[in-house]
Structure 1
Amino acid sequence: MCRSMGWVSVALALVASMLFSSVSAGVFVNSDMTQERVATPGETYRGTIVLKNLADTPAEAKVYQTDYSFTADGSNEYGEPGRLPRSNARWVSLSRELVTVPPKGTELLDYEVKVPAGTSLSGSYWSLIMVEPIAPDSGESAAELPEGTARIKQTLRYGIQVVTHLGSPGPAGLEFTNPQVIKDDDQRLFAIDVKNTGQRLLRPTLSLDLYSASGNPIGKFQGIATRLFPGTSARFKIDLGKTPAGQYLGLVVADGTGDNLFGANVELEIE
């Protein structure tokens, strides 16, 4: 029993130390994690990412690019840059791939976006600039280890979304699938998968108008806005509160950007 308690104490101390170290040392991003720009084909524009170091010693970070996609099942994909049909990764040039931030200081990481010329481009294009701090005791450090010891690498990355909106916004569209009622602890939630089938970034806010089986209004339930890039999907969840068990009809309304409204009829059984 004493051994078990001692092990737990050491483990908790180690976790606390790791959390403190990740917050108090190393490089972190001190600017917007999404940087959007409206541009025209053939235009070149520039952006800046602010990196900060709270430690008393210099800190390093490596910088690289990836594509970015996600689906309603919760998966995220950080693929090779430039592979997605609407990736702008190949338009983006980084000023540096390795950044050193001075003690208690900041450093600016510049990037340039060269939009290809051509009237066929429209809608939203995006990719990620990844900033990955390099710990002094990581495997990438040049310092030699004492004999009989090993490094444990803990990777922390910051992904800055670089989004370019071009020309005509292009058509907007949302697809609704898999409506269901789920339980999350003591909550009953209406869940539905929503996919962006259009050409531009949308930030839809979902609401559910609920009716009895005979058509009498029960109430309106509100969700929160979620960012959807073209071709991506997400699972939206709406708290049903204390709605009594029974069979219901529902109207799902997604309020997109500007005048874009999308809807779907659903049938629900709340237990």
Structure 2
Amino acid sequence: MIKRISFFTFLILPFVFLHASIVVLNGLTHNYKVENGQVYKGKIAIENTANKPQNVKLFLQDFAYHADGTINYTTPHTNERTNTDWIKLNTNFITLKAKEKTEVYYEITIPNQAINPGSYWSVIIVEPVEDIKPTDSKQGVNITSIVRYAIQVITDYDSEKVKPDLKFESVKIDKEEGKQILKIAIANKGEIYCKPFASIEIYNKKSGQKVGTFSTQAMGLLPTTSKSFPIDISKMPPDKYNAVIIATDEDENAFALNVELEVKND
């Protein structure tokens, strides 16, 4: 009897492929500015790139992530700011023919009653369903890898009434593949989703002269979550430095931190 073990890989960045036959075509973050009592419509464009039919199921989950790399997918209502009750899919199951494309539609109905300003979110999971055919002809373990997509649906209510509150959780230097990588852990302690980037100005500890400026790409950051913002500082010679780290969101709200850095040979 073959024992079947399935490994699930979630993709939360657009257009990352791991030999998956199912591909989401229109991005993995859907963001809406919403008002009380209004209905908003969205869609998920899906393609089956394989040469055979593929079944796909769709369902809602709550979602959080942290700077240490952990990602949590949990049942609805785990998150106090879940919007799973507001979202209705037009179907939870589809079958795609070989090379077929389709669109799954959803509606977001915002409650009429007052809600607190800020972001509410969840994810729509798009998961291929593999046909399991038991057989007694072989002994052993059959391992399959299934790639699932997590599509963030973020609803921002009265966003102009709240501002991000970014906090620096940690700053450390790791060596990865021969490079010195500065990892800046930033948490969103506010109530609103934002897309900050981090930059660092590095100064000679003795002379005070600026010796380098580096920055990261902007990344989305939900309330109560955190991410690690990496910066390659391999060009900095080994020494001790003073530095100013700045996290800036898309509305130019800025948060600064003074640190001391020691870049080592090893």
TM range (shorter): 0.7 to 0.9
Q: Which residue in 2 is equivalent to 1:172?
A: 164
Inter-partner Cα distance in structure 1 for 2:69 and 2:239: 29
Aligned with 1:32 (options 27, 33, 58): 27
Q: Which runs of 5+ in 1 are unaligned?
A: 1-21, 139-143
* Alignment length (residue pairs): 243
Alignment of 1:66-85 (within 5 A): 66-85=61-80
Shift of 1:73: 0.8
SS in 2 for 1:211: strand
Q: 1:269 to 1:90 in 2, by over 3 A?
A: same
Alignment of 1:56-135 (within 5 A): 56-135=51-130
Q: Which residue in 2 is equivalent to 1:209?
A: 201
Q: Which residue in 1 is equivalent to 2:9?
A: none
Shift of 1:212: 1.5
Inter-partner Cα distance in structure 2 for 1:42 and 1:84: 22
Q: Does 1:197 align with 2:189?
A: yes
Q: 1:46 to 1:204 in 2, by over 3 A?
A: same
Q: Which residue in 1 is equivalent to 2:249?
A: 256
C-alpha offsets along residues 39-81 of structure 1, whole Å, 9 cap, x if unaligned?
1122111111112123344321011111110111110000111
C-alpha offsets along residues 207-226 of structure 1, whole Å, 9 cap, x if unaligned?
10011123221111122222
Contact in 1 for aligned 2:90/2:104 (Cα 8 Å):
yes
Q: Which shows bigger deviation, 195-204 or 48-57?
A: 48-57
Q: Which residue in 1 is equivalent to 2:225?
A: 232
Inter-partner Cα distance in structure 2 for 1:118 and 1:229: 23
| Higher RCO (C-alpha under 8 Å, 6+ residues apart) | 2
Q: 1:151 to 1:240 in 2, by over 3 A?
A: closer
Inter-partner Cα distance in structure 2 for 1:128 and 1:216: 47
Letter in 1 for 2:39: T
Once superposed, which parts of structure 1, at least 4 consecutive aligned residues long, lie more than 6 Å away? Answer: none
Inter-partner Cα distance in structure 2 for 1:54 and 1:192: 38
Q: Which shows bigger deviation, 55-64 or 189-198?
A: 55-64
Contact in 1 for aligned 2:159/2:192 (Cα 8 Å):
no
Q: Which runs of 5+ in 2 are unaligned?
A: 1-17
Q: Is the radius of gyration larger for structure 1 or structure 2?
A: 1
Contact in 1 for aligned 2:119/2:159 (Cα 8 Å):
no
Q: Which residue in 1 is equivalent to 2:137?
A: 148
Q: Does 1:270 align with 2:259?
A: no
Inter-partner Cα distance in structure 2 for 1:35 and 1:219: 36
TM-score norm. by structure 1 comes to 0.83
Greater fraction of residues in strand: 2
Q: Which residue in 1 is equivalent to 2:14?
A: none
C-alpha offsets along residues 116-138 of structure 1, whole Å, 9 cap, x if unaligned?
223333121111100111123x3
C-alpha offsets along residues 131-166 of structure 1, whole Å, 9 cap, x if unaligned?
111123x3xxxxx53433475443221111111111
Inter-partner Cα distance in structure 1 for 2:116 and 2:38: 12
**Alignment RMSD, CA only?**
1.9
Shift of 1:97: 1.3
TM-score norm. by structure 2 comes to 0.84
C-alpha offsets along residues 77-103 of structure 1, whole Å, 9 cap, x if unaligned?
001112212211121111111111233
Q: Which residue in 2 is equivalent to 1:17?
A: none
Greater fraction of residues in helix: 1
